[in-house]
Structure 1
Amino acid sequence: MSFVEADRGWADWLVWQLQDAGVRAIAEPPLAPAAGEDAAPALAAATGHAEHVLVVLSDDYLAAVGAAADTLDDAAAGRLVAVRVADCRRPGRFSRVVSFDLFGLERPVAREWLRRQLAVLRAEPAAAGAAAPPATTPPAAEAPPAAVPAVAAVVPAQAGEDGVEVLAELAGFPSPVRAVVFPATGGLLVTGAQDGKVRLFDLAKPARPTTMVEIEYGARYSQEWVRDLATSADGTRLAVVGDAMQVAVWDLADPAAPELVFSERGHKHYIRAVALSPDASVVATGGQDKAVALWNARRSGRQSVLAVLTDHRKGVRSVAFSPDGRRLASGGDDKTVILWDVADPGHPTRTATIAAHRDTVHAVRFVTPTLLATAGADRTARLWDITSPAHPEPVAELTGHRKAVTALAVTADATRVATGAADSTVALWDVTSPGRPNRLAALSSGYGAVNGLAFSRDGALLAAACAGKTAVLWSIGARLASTAG
Structure 2
Amino acid sequence: MLCCLNPDCPNPLNPDDNQLCRSCNTPLIPLLRGRYRVIKVLSDEGGFGKTYLAEDVDKLNEPCVVKQFAPKIQETLALKKAVELFKEEAKQLQQLGEHHQIPTLLAYFEQNNYLFLVQQYIDGQNLLQELHKKGLYNESKIREFLLDLLPVLEFIHKRGVIHRDIKPQNIIRRDSDRRLVLIDFGASKQLSATVQTKIGTAIGSHGYTPIEQMQDGKAYPASDLFSLGATCFHLLTGIVPSKLWMQNGYSWVTHWRRYLNQQSQGGTISECLKLGNVLDKLLRIDIQQRYQSADEVLKDVLRQSSQPISSTFISVSRTSQVLASLPLDTQRKKHLLVSAGIVLLGLGGVWYSYSQPLVIPKPSNLSQPINKTLEDSDSPNTLKGHSSDVNSVAFSVDGKTLASGSDDNTIKIWNLANQQEIRTFKGHSEWIWTVAFSVDGKILASGSADKTIRLWNVETGEEIGILKGHAAGVSSIAFSPDGKTLASGSLDKTIKLWNLETSQEIYTFKGHSKAVASVAFSPDGTTLASGSWDKTIKLWNLATQKEIRTFEGHSEMVLCIAFAPDNLNLASSSKDNSIKVWNLVTGEVTQTLIGHSDKVNSIKYLLSTDNDQTTNKVILVSGSNDNTIKLWNPVTGQEIRTLKKDSGYIYSVAVSPDGKAIASGGSADNIIKIWRSPR
With the length of structure 2 as denominator, give the TM-score of the two structures: 0.43
* SS of corresponding position for 2:380: strand
Deviation at residue 203 of structure 1 after TM alignment: 1.2
* SS of corresponding position for 1:357: coil
Deviation digits for residues 249-301 of structure 1 (CA, Å, limit 9, x no counterpart)? 2233x2xx23433321111111111111012211111111111111111113x
Deviation digits for residues 341-391 of structure 1 (CA, Å, limit 9, x no counterpart)? 11x3xx4111011114110111001112111110001101111111x2xx4
Match of 1:248 in 2: 454
* 1:362 maps to 2:563: no
Pick closer, same or farther for the CA change 1:159–1:430 going to 2, 3 Å. Answer: farther
Deviation digits for residues 40-63 of structure 1 (CA, Å, limit 9, x no counterpart)? xxxxxxxxxxxxxxxxxxxxxxxx
* 1:237 maps to 2:455: no
Deviation digits for residues 439-476 of structure 1 (CA, Å, limit 9, x no counterpart)? 22201122311111101000111000112212111112
Give runs of aligned pairs for residues 41-120 of structure 1, distance below 5 A. Answer: none
User: One-letter code of the match for 2:398?
Assistant: T
Out of 184, 193, 198, which is 2:411 matched to? 198
- Whole-angstrom distance in 2 between the partners of 1:312 and 1:366: 19
Pick closer, same or farther for the CA change 1:274–1:357 going to 2, 3 Å. Answer: same
* 1:397 maps to 2:610: no
- Whole-angstrom distance in 2 between the partners of 1:327 and 1:394: 19
Match of 1:214 in 2: 424
Deviation digits for residues 393-451 of structure 1 (CA, Å, limit 9, x no counterpart)? 211111110000111112255712100101111001234xx2x1432220112231111
The answer to whether the 8 Å contact 1:262/1:298 transfers is no
Pick closer, same or farther for the CA change 1:453–1:168 going to 2, 3 Å. Answer: same
Deviation at residue 159 of structure 1 after TM alignment: 8.1
* 1:382 maps to 2:580: yes
The answer to whether the 8 Å contact 1:286/1:319 transfers is yes
Out of 330, 339, 342, which is 2:539 matched to? 339
The answer to whether the 8 Å contact 1:337/1:361 transfers is yes
* 1:460 maps to 2:657: no
- Whole-angstrom distance in 2 between the partners of 1:201 and 1:173: 11
Deviation at residue 237 of structure 1 after TM alignment: 2.6
Match of 1:174 in 2: 387
* 1:448 maps to 2:654: no
The answer to whether the 8 Å contact 1:165/1:476 transfers is no
Pick closer, same or farther for the CA change 1:367–1:233 going to 2, 3 Å. Answer: farther
- Whole-angstrom distance in 1 between the partners of 2:372 and 2:647: 15
User: One-letter code of the match for 1:372?
Assistant: L
The answer to whether the 8 Å contact 2:478/2:486 transfers is yes
Deviation at residue 225 of structure 1 after TM alignment: 0.4
* SS of corresponding position for 2:465: strand
Match of 2:37 in 1: none
Match of 1:129 in 2: none
The answer to whether the 8 Å contact 1:185/1:234 transfers is no
* 1:407 maps to 2:602: yes
Match of 2:39 in 1: none
- Whole-angstrom distance in 2 between the partners of 1:171 and 1:251: 23
User: One-letter code of the match for 2:444?
Assistant: L
Deviation at residue 325 of structure 1 after TM alignment: 1.1
Deviation at residue 332 of structure 1 after TM alignment: 1.4
The answer to whether the 8 Å contact 1:382/1:396 transfers is yes
- Whole-angstrom distance in 1 between the partners of 2:420 and 2:582: 39
- Whole-angstrom distance in 2 between the partners of 1:260 and 1:395: 43
Match of 1:470 in 2: 671
User: One-letter code of the match for 1:443?
Assistant: L
- Whole-angstrom distance in 2 between the partners of 1:459 and 1:331: 25
* SS of corresponding position for 1:359: coil
The answer to whether the 8 Å contact 2:370/2:676 transfers is no
The answer to whether the 8 Å contact 1:424/1:445 transfers is yes
Deviation at residue 187 of structure 1 after TM alignment: 0.6
Deviation digits for residues 192-247 of structure 1 (CA, Å, limit 9, x no counterpart)? 00111110000123xxx1000000141x3xxx000011223332332110112111
With the length of structure 1 as denominator, give the TM-score of the two structures: 0.59
* 1:186 maps to 2:392: no
User: One-letter code of the match for 2:497?
Assistant: L
- Whole-angstrom distance in 2 between the partners of 1:160 and 1:170: 20
The answer to whether the 8 Å contact 1:291/1:315 transfers is yes
The answer to whether the 8 Å contact 2:601/2:624 transfers is yes
* SS of corresponding position for 1:280: coil
Deviation at residue 160 of structure 1 after TM alignment: 7.9
Pick closer, same or farther for the CA change 1:203–1:354 going to 2, 3 Å. Answer: same
Match of 1:67 in 2: none
- Whole-angstrom distance in 2 between the partners of 1:156 and 1:328: 34
Deviation digits for residues 5-25 of structure 1 (CA, Å, limit 9, x no counterpart)? xxxxxxxxxxxxxxxxxxxxx
Percent of residue pairs identical: 27
- Whole-angstrom distance in 1 between the partners of 2:532 and 2:677: 30
User: One-letter code of the match for 2:643?
Assistant: L
In the comparison of the two structures, how many residue pairs are matched? 305
Pick closer, same or farther for the CA change 1:287–1:190 going to 2, 3 Å. Answer: same
* 1:314 maps to 2:509: no
Pick closer, same or farther for the CA change 1:296–1:381 going to 2, 3 Å. Answer: same
Question: Unaligned stretches of 5+ in structure 2?
Answer: 1-329, 336-368, 609-616
- Whole-angstrom distance in 2 between the partners of 1:403 and 1:419: 12
Match of 1:281 in 2: 484
* 1:425 maps to 2:425: no
- Whole-angstrom distance in 2 between the partners of 1:266 and 1:199: 25
Match of 1:99 in 2: none
* SS of corresponding position for 2:564: strand
The answer to whether the 8 Å contact 2:559/2:602 transfers is yes
User: One-letter code of the match for 2:602?
Assistant: A
- Whole-angstrom distance in 2 between the partners of 1:261 and 1:451: 28
- Whole-angstrom distance in 1 between the partners of 2:400 and 2:548: 38
The answer to whether the 8 Å contact 1:237/1:280 transfers is no
The answer to whether the 8 Å contact 2:414/2:421 transfers is yes
Deviation at residue 477 of structure 1 after TM alignment: 3.2
* SS of corresponding position for 1:365: strand
In proportion to residue count, which structure has more helix? 2
Give runs of aligned pairs for residues 24-39 of structure 1, distance below 5 A. Answer: none
Question: Unaligned stretches of 5+ in structure 1?
Answer: 1-111, 118-154, 479-485
Match of 1:353 in 2: 550
User: One-letter code of the match for 2:426?
Assistant: E
Pick closer, same or farther for the CA change 1:322–1:186 going to 2, 3 Å. Answer: same
- Whole-angstrom distance in 1 between the partners of 2:658 and 2:371: 20
- Whole-angstrom distance in 2 between the partners of 1:248 and 1:277: 17
Deviation at residue 158 of structure 1 after TM alignment: 7.6
Match of 1:62 in 2: none
Match of 1:372 in 2: 570
The answer to whether the 8 Å contact 1:158/1:165 transfers is no
Pick closer, same or farther for the CA change 1:355–1:258 going to 2, 3 Å. Answer: same
User: One-letter code of the match for 1:399?
Assistant: I
